[in-house]
């Protein structure tokens, strides 16, 4: 499952670079090497600990079998299950080695076919991802929102800060479909709603993306909100369009137009960086560029609440009946399976 020797060779290579005083002048390279070194040390220690636990447990299994000690046998079976879970966790970490997997991420959710139903669905998805982030110890920050007319959001963008957040979320790209009894329908009919999710990595100081002023169009508009005294009364919200690629981003999280423009530029750089990654990793293109039409036939996952309960991922064919748990942020089952399938 693990190429332990390869990891040990990489650790020795990093140690060699760190011993070269010339490399200490490059702070970005130094920070990356130190971060990678700490990861490798902890990873290899975990492998060693689990390997020794397995050897000890196997020997005790032989003893318990010969002595017919059923209590000890049950305890050792539980220990083997724990070791298997630990190794699976370590295996998943080996899959999070893409060029930007360790970066923070930016996630956009857009409502599709279904009107107010889909706008409410965007809010439910935002809550689902927020709860998942909380369970991981990740921080979320709402960057932009376009509030729905009656409920939810027409669209929103939020930032996820945490180790490997992009690596975990990058395969969530695509259309998510919800089937439920509508809370907005006085006749309690079943409705189908759609929303698209698009995740891209936040760039760090080690990545240089140059954007020329002549290649962008900047528009200002009044920030939207729920109303009241805190509604922004100036055109502080910013929309930037990258003319060569037609990529558009917007930000209204701050009351400062200058701050919003700065954040929007960083978002644009992140999207351009993601395009660059896709070109360099053509084998992942179909999995990471599935935006398409937000409607029938394009969904990657279905969340069925009526007439039965089931969440099914159409790419991995994995499904689960605990819909309330999934919508409350328990999505590791799907994230892990898609990571295994597509990596």
Per-residue confidence in pLDDT tens, the chain, 343 aa: 456 777 788 888 888 888 888 778 777 778 778 877 888 888 889 888 999 999 999 888 887 777 777 788 888 889 999 999 999 888 898 898 888 888 899 999 999 977 899 999 999 999 999 999 999 999 999 999 999 888 999 999 999 999 899 999 999 999 999 999 988 887 888 899 999 999 999 886 666 788 888 888 998 887 766 544 444 556 788 899 998 888 999 888 777 888 888 888 888 888 888 887 777 665 444 544 444 455 555 789 999 999 999 999 999 999 999 999 999 999 999 999 999 998 7
At a CB cut-off of 8 Å and minimum separation 6, what does 285 contact?
278
- Within 10 angstroms of residue 195's Cβ, the number of other Cβ atoms is 29
Q: Which domains does the chain have, with CATH numbers?
A: 4-95 (1.20.58.410), 105-204+284-342 (3.30.70.1660), 213-280 (3.30.160.20)
> Which pLDDT score is estimated for 228?
43
> Which pLDDT score is estimated for 268?
87
> Which pLDDT score is estimated for 35?
78
Give SS3 for 151. coil
Predicted TM-score of the model (pTM): 0.74
């Amino acid at each position: 499952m693990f190429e332990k020797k390869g990891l040990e060779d990489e650790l020795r290579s990093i140690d060699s670079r760190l011993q070269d005083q010339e490399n200490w002048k490059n702070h970005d390279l130094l920070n990356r090497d130190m971060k990678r070194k700490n990861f490798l040390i902890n990873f290899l220690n975990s492998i060693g600990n689990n390997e020794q636990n397995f050897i000890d447990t196997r020997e005790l299994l032989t003893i318990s079998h010969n002595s017919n000690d059923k209590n000890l046998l049950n305890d050792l079976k539980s220990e083997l299950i724990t070791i298997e879970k630990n190794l699976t966790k370590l295996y998943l970490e080996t899959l999070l080695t893409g060029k930007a997997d360790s970066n923070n991420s930016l996630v956009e959710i857009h409502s599709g076919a279904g009107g107010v139903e889909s706008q409410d669905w965007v809010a439910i998805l935002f809550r689902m991802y927020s709860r998942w982030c909380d369970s991981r110890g990740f921080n979320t920050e709402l960057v932009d929102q376009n509030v729905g007319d009656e409920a939810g959001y027409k669209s929103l963008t939020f930032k996820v800060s945490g180790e490997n957040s992009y690596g975990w979320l990058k395969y969530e790209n695509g259309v998510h479909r919800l089937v439920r009894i509508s809370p907005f329908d006085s006749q309690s009919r079943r409705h189908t709603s759609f929303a698209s999710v698009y995740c891209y990595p936040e760039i760090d100081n080690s990545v240089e993306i140059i954007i020329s002023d002549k290649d962008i169009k900047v528009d200002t508009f009044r920030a939207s909100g729920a109303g009241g005294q805190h509604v922004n009364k100036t055109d502080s919200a910013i929309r930037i369009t990258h003319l060569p690629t037609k990529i558009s981003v917007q930000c209204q999280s701050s009351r400062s137009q200058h701050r919003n423009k700065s954040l929007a530029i960083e978002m644009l750089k992140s999207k351009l960086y993601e395009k660059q990654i896709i070109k360099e990793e053509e084998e992942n293109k179909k999995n990471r560029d599935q935006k398409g039409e937000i409607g029938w036939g394009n969904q990657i996952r279905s969340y069925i609440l009526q007439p039965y309960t089931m969440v099914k991922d159409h790419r991995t064919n994995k499904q689960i009946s605990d819909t309330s748990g999934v919508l409350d942020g328990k999505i590791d089952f799907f994230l892990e399976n898609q990571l295994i399938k597509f990596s």
